[in-house]
Amino acid sequence: MTRILFVCTGNVHRSALAERLLAARLPPGSALRPESAGTEAWHRSRMEDTTREVLEELGGDGSGFASRPLTAQLVTGAALVLGLAREHREAAVRLAPSAMRRCFTLKEFVRLGEGVAEEAGQGGGGGFEAVVAAAAARRGAASPVPPAEDEIPDPWGRPRQELYECALEIDGVVGGIVRLWERGGVGV
């Protein structure tokens, strides 16, 4: 089982959407297990009703969701930690500095991983972990992007349409994770 941990602030919008949308996009029986947590989450808060409605409109399942606070144990136990903003990635690294090479923003990981997935996973073995390591190695070699390009804005307190647009953006980016997973030679 390969765990991916999505991190946002409250773990009721962005990271919850990322967790559940990725789960909906994976093939049945996948060994990839999406999870989520929040830097300021209340333990066991439920997903907000509007977020759940948007999630279900996009084909995700909001049943049984419970938020949880980000912990060092969650970070160290994940093969990949994806913050929805840079502050979330940084919070994960502060909790578990040894996990730094496995911590990215969601958009950063997909951007960096797209260029390395096939060579790391298909030809030389190593699977998804090799894709993660190669994406980390590209951090210094890839052209920098403006900070806002690696972040997904928080829809908290915003109109439903902005939440829906946020969910669409997250859905598009988690599709990139599915492609990287498949190209990493892992299959299910």
> Does residue 121 carry a pLDDT above 90?
no
**Whole-model pTM?**
0.93
Whether residue 91 is predicted with pLDDT greater than 50 in this model: the reply is yes
Out of 54-68, 77-91, 110-124, pick the least confident: 110-124
pLDDT value for 7: 98
Q: In terms of Cα–Cα distance, which of 105, 109, 130 is closest to 118?
A: 130
Nearest to 58 by CA among 11, 18, 27, 3: 18
Q: What domains appear along the chain, each with residue ranges and CATH number? A: 2-176 (3.40.50.2300)
| pLDDT tens digits for range 11-39 | 999 999 999 999 999 999 999 999 999 99
- What letter would DSSP give residue 46? P
Nearest to 177 by CA among 12, 66, 23: 23
Bigger pLDDT: 146 or 116? 146
Please report which confidence band the pLDDT of residue 126 belongs to, taking 50, 70 and 90 as the band edges. Answer: low
Tokens standing for 125?
């073995």
pLDDT at 157: 93
Q: Give the 3-state secondary structure of residue 149.
A: helix
Q: Which residue has the higher pLDDT, 114 or 44?
A: 114
